[in-house]
A = this chain, B = another copy of it.
């Protein structure tokens, strides 16, 4: 297996990563190297290695047990990373599993050999223990127009040249999580495409330092802009706007092209795998809010207040509804093309609950912690000579220094840049609420329910 050091070394390639207006080396940049460190924790996490000495992330799920294992692997690694999701091999395999199912169907229908190419690629990344980001969401331009009707034709990633060796692509993908610190970028369609949108119906993989690929990293304000941050100094995820300036992709890394019908199939299969992953890591993330709320309640001397109890129960509900749906999704998979797909209904139910209620648990933490998390003096004050008097006045049921440690975390989670970042993440990452509703509504099996009521109407006659 690859070591942490080897992984970090592998990021010193020709990649074009921009941060705050400058081209940077992610492995040495004082802020971005935290994202590198976070990514590299994958290689420290012993639980991920299977008996066969392969990363368990590459275990293709065949049944409920495999899905439960994957669920626990993602939860476990997220806990290892302090509640922050480590995508290093998670989202990439979500995409690869989706492509496995889709390419098999496509090959059978059209007579192509995508599955073979994909299998080679799968073999390559797993054997070399590579990390992968997945770039799915096109920048989209005017959301009320189809790809081909945009004022600028590049609003959806598209093929600009086709030749014997491969294709050339142009466009941009938004929010590629950890793109800048991954080995590979797997690209899949953002949505179903229609007849005539073949140039947009593409899936492929490129190394992160492919020529013409540029990655613009979001500002990491939760670390740079919050001198009292604790969690973000250890773990955070970066996101990039990933621009493809006529990037060349050789045929053996192209997994879909032109077959518009399969764009939607890949997008939807990936969504299901990825939301299962999401529900799994969010359980770990919610531990941050649960733990901070409990400990703050204790530190404030209010753990026995009934409204505090209700708020803590609310966070427990949030966490456990997600967990229940993850388990149920694993227990009731759809097995298709020999791959066990997490049950889409349970997966989307968990995802939608998670989107819709995250802001409630933020409010719970805020209410328990007190307004002081937004008004407390800065880290610089606390470590200045004035720190003593400040600590004196920040005591609760525990002494001031102790409580300040908790307040810093409660602030980071509930009243800082990270709060805003997480709120947005929890609404948008892994698909919007609208997307989950569409999926739930469309794919749900209403038969039991409709039959029951129809049977009753007939009893009337």
Report A's interface with B, CB cutoff 8 A.
18-22, 79, 82-83, 137, 139-145, 151-152, 154-155, 171-172, 174-175, 214, 216-219, 221, 224-228, 230-231, 233-234, 239-241, 243, 245, 286-288, 290-292, 294-295, 300-302, 304-307, 309-310, 312-313, 316-317, 320-321, 323-325, 327-329, 331-332, 345-346, 349-350, 352-353, 359-360, 362-363, 366-367, 370-381, 383-384, 386, 389-390, 392-397, 405-406, 408-409, 411, 414-421, 423-425, 427-429, 432-434, 437, 440-441, 444, 446, 448-457, 459-461
> Of B18, B313, B432, B451, which is within 8 A of A377 by CB?
B18
Which B residue sits closest to A329, measured CB to CB? B324
30 A–B pairs (Cβ distance < 8 Å), ordered by A: A19-B378, A20-B378, A141-B395, A143-B301, A143-B302, A152-B392, A152-B395, A155-B395, A214-B389, A216-B386, A216-B390, A218-B376, A234-B459, A240-B375, A241-B394, A287-B448, A288-B449, A291-B446, A291-B454, A309-B441, A321-B349, A324-B329, A324-B349, A370-B428, A374-B420, A374-B421, A415-B423, A415-B424, A416-B421, A417-B420
A21-B380, A345-B316 given as contacts; is B423 within 8 A of A295 (CB)?
no
| CB-defined contacts of A432 to chain B, threshold 8 Å | 367
Which B residue sits closest to A310, measured CB to CB? B437
Which B residue sits closest to A367, measured CB to CB? B427
**SS class of chain A's interface: helix, strand, loop or mixed?**
helix
| CB-defined contacts of A434 to chain B, threshold 8 Å | 305, 307, 367
> Of B141, B294, B321, which is within 8 A of A396 by CB?
B141
Q: Say how many copies of this protein the assembly contains.
A: 4
A82-B455, A243-B393, A450-B295 given as contacts; is B366 within 8 A of A423 (CB)?
yes
Which of A239, A305, A437 counts the most B-chain CB atoms under 10 A from its CB? A437
Which B residue sits closest to A245, measured CB to CB? B389
| CB-defined contacts of A287 to chain B, threshold 8 Å | 448-449, 452-453
A300-B143, A349-B317, A423-B415 given as contacts; is B428 within 8 A of A294 (CB)?
no
**Bound state CA distance, A329 and B140, in angstroms?**
42
A218 lies within 8 A of B441 (CB):
no
A143 lies within 8 A of B309 (CB):
no
Which of A321, A384, A392, A440 counts the most B-chain CB atoms under 10 A from its CB? A321
B454 lies within 8 A of A295 (CB):
yes
**Bound state CA distance, A418 and B424, in angstroms?**
13
A449 lies within 8 A of B294 (CB):
yes
User: What distance in Å separates the Cβ of A382 from its nearest Cβ neighbour in chain B?
Assistant: 8
